[in-house]
Structure 1
Amino acid sequence: MSKYRPNVAAIILSEKYPDICEFFIAQRNDIKNVKNVWQFPQGGIDYGESPLEALYRELEEEIGTSNVEVLAEYPEWLKYNFPTGNIRTKMYPFKGQRQKYFLVKLRDNTLINLDTNVPEFVRYKFVNYENIFVNIVYFKRPIYKKVLEYFKKEGYIS
């Protein structure tokens, strides 16, 4: 078994894209030892599931909709380690996650619903590029920076 949990992550642009480039971030409700944890939606890939199938399922489970248009996919899998404490314990036996990132856009008039069967987030907001890193939990910043810089270089975001 791999020490890294297979996972997908969604960088969600609002329905105002490309006119306005704002990113969806949400505050987790289940990480007790780190305050104010904001992140992009993400989740595990189930056995036999493709990354794209997992993306749509995870969006339904976490934000109540999969009504998105996939704009791009990061070309590689990226890994990060969980910090010690609550998160690592919750995700045992994995020491981190191996992730596939997708850049998606909410379709017009899509409603976000965080009150899902098993809510993971307490609130969400849309922020500009600069404010992503002010809000995002520290241990995810290096990967977010790498992925966002790639999508920026490819011309998807400004």
Structure 2
Amino acid sequence: MELKPYRDNVGALLFNGAGLVLVARRADMPDAEGAAGGWQLPQGGVDPGEDLRAAVLRELAEEIGTDRAEIIAEHPEWLTYDFPPELAGRGFRIAQRYRGQRQRWFALRFTGRDADIRLDADSHPEFDAWRWAGIEELPALAVSFKRPIYEVLAQAFGPLARALASAAKSR
């Protein structure tokens, strides 16, 4: 695995007006009991030469059916995780080609309505359910190999989530 490269990737913490973050449940990674897989934040690969800010909006449109969002913050560092070896053995195509992912994360303010989120917008949906969650829930919702990144994100963007929630309460 160490000889494989990391895949460049962007991730989105999409905040609603109450400071909650959109999480979606993977449809293609069943758990040990065969149920749908872990919850995660929208994320996806960056095309060669693609601007990272454009990529995160494109990924939102592809994965959750809307790009009704504005970027309000960016994590200053690339964060990486390795794929567990069993993913490649289960036919997870990306894990066969890459060691893991090198990600740039963005916080975005959702400017649409819940009805604008359409998991069925793509002919091969990645997710089968979504919900709004508190940022502190992220690490517990993540699959184990993504948990360290979600811990960093919860800490880094926690103050932003609290500020959005506080502003919503004062309206």
**AA paired with 2:106?**
F
Q: CA deviation at 1:121?
A: 0.3
**1:24 corresponding residue in structure 2:** 22
Gap regions ≥5 residues in structure 2: 163-171
Please tell me whether residue 40 in structure 1 is matched to residue 41 in structure 2. yes
**1:90 corresponding residue in structure 2:** 93
Give the secondary-structure state (helix, strand or coil) at the position aligned to 1:6.
Answer: strand
TM-score normalised by L of structure 1: 0.87
Q: CA deviation at 1:116?
A: 2.1
User: In structure 1, how many angstroms separate the alpha carbons of the residues matched to 2:4 and 2:46?
Assistant: 13
Correspondence for 2:10 among 8, 11, 15: 8
User: In structure 2, how many angstroms separate the alpha carbons of the residues matched to 1:80 and 1:10?
Assistant: 16
Correspondence for 1:123 among 112, 118, 129: 129
**1:112 corresponding residue in structure 2:** 117
Corresponding pairs, count:
152
Alignment of 1:131-146 (within 5 A): 131-146=137-152
Please tell me whether residue 149 in structure 1 is matched to residue 155 in structure 2. yes
Contact 2:20 2:161 in 1 (8 A): no
Contact 2:4 2:99 in 1 (8 A): no
- Please identify, of 45-54 and 84-93, the stretch whose mean Cα deviation from structure 2 is larger: 84-93
User: In structure 1, how many angstroms separate the alpha carbons of the residues matched to 2:79 and 2:139?
Assistant: 18
TM-score normalised by L of structure 2: 0.81
Distance 1:103 1:87, change over 3 A: farther
Contact 1:114 1:122 in 2 (8 A): yes
Distance 1:95 1:24, change over 3 A: same
Distance 1:142 1:157, change over 3 A: same
- Please identify, of 142-151 and 29-38, the stretch whose mean Cα deviation from structure 2 is larger: 29-38
Please tell me whether residue 76 in structure 1 is matched to residue 81 in structure 2. no
Structure richer in helix, relative to its length: 2
User: In structure 2, how many angstroms separate the alpha carbons of the residues matched to 1:79 and 1:133?
Assistant: 15
Between the two proteins, what is the percent identity of the paired residues?
A: 37
**1:103 corresponding residue in structure 2:** 107
Q: CA deviation at 1:108?
A: 4.0
Question: Where in structure 1 do 4 or more consecutive aligned residues deviate above 4 Å?
Answer: none
Query: Which has more radius of gyration?
Result: 2
Q: CA deviation at 1:47?
A: 1.0
